[in-house]
Amino acid sequence: MVTINGKDIHKLVVACDAGMGSSVMLAGTLRKQLGKSHVTVEHTAVRSIPADADMVVCHEGLAARVRSAAPGKPVVPFQIFLGDPAITRVVEAIQQGTDLDV
């Protein structure tokens, strides 16, 4: 397990398999929720995760692929695209500047 402080997350990437659909909606929702923070939210395919990403969120079915594509990056898998507790914890850690265990 890795611990990262919300203050240290500057680029949050929502990784997906194909590049369209629910993950795009999640990225938009995160941009709105984090609009007043210091965080940039990007949406990208698993194969295109940028090297400067501080954290990657993805559907739990993609987590192993994301970890292979972005070794050393904190990965937060989630089960549902909207309202998932894992995503809520990420948003709260960023907004409050608290630690997040991933």
For the annotated catalytic residues, the residue numbers are 16
| Phi/psi-derived region of residue 83, left when phi > 0, alpha when psi is between -120 and 50, beta in every other case | left
Residue located via tokens 């990225």: 27
How many other CB atoms sit within 10 Å of the CB of residue 23? 22
CB contact set of 65 (below 8 Å; sequence gap of 6+): 46
Q: CA 99 to CA 5: how far, in whole Å?
A: 4
